[in-house]
Structure 1
């Protein structure tokens, strides 16, 4: 029997639950997409405290060299994507889709979309607050292992919460798409 879960425009199969927040891992086997978009190799989803940020980076071998800059957009250095959230003390929902190829244009219905590139030496992972892995997003994000990756971050609620800071009236959610750049 196949179970389907609708997240954004995608329909996924293979739901796995967790006792901490909402955690799901979905594999491409039996998946369909609307509008002919590229199918993800696998999807991971969870929600929890962001502690004001999340990072996409390799497993650290010491203290990571986080990039500096403004929280208006993701901060990037060669190996780390650092994204500020506005819901510092509230939970955020994150869905990560890992692809073997370009997934197509960015998804509609998101208030912010950012495109960046990063290099992975060992494989990219999601880190809440830059140091905590969530149970539903523990699998490596880089479907093709080490190499150069494109990271597209979609955000809803972040700008609204930033404008109302320190209050966080909007639910903050993110869709992170990761695929190799081919260079």
Structure 2
């Protein structure tokens, strides 16, 4: 039995390449998960085994949904992952999400996440045909809230949110595709 792998496009921005997750990214992902920097996107278990399962979940979204998050890197060092961004929709989440993570402190404050997230949103709207998207954000994640606002998102108190074991979560609504033209 042969299973066809999904086509994962490679996208480019002025400075970045957005590509599918690769086995070579696992170490950078695991380092991120083991750090305090990942506290808003993971549970308490930061073991390599749990990191691997989380990464496999990310990669598997491409197989099961036909889309998923992209790993982003600088064009001149495409094998050195800086983070992840793009369309995301776990089975039990009420809406399609556009998410992002920056895996190392050295990659913060340079606009990479914003640049990558804009391209991930463009992909979701233009290539996937999404008409709306949210970003679910922990209320204490000030950096992510600031990025959502720089992307033109607004807090949507009416949006249904996933159940994160009773933890609070905010839904930031992305501008509609026609608003970005």
Name the TM-score, length of structure 1 as normaliser. 0.28
Name the TM-score, length of structure 2 as normaliser. 0.28
- Structure holding more strand per residue: 1
- Structure holding more helix per residue: 2
- Higher RCO (C-alpha under 8 Å, 6+ residues apart): 1
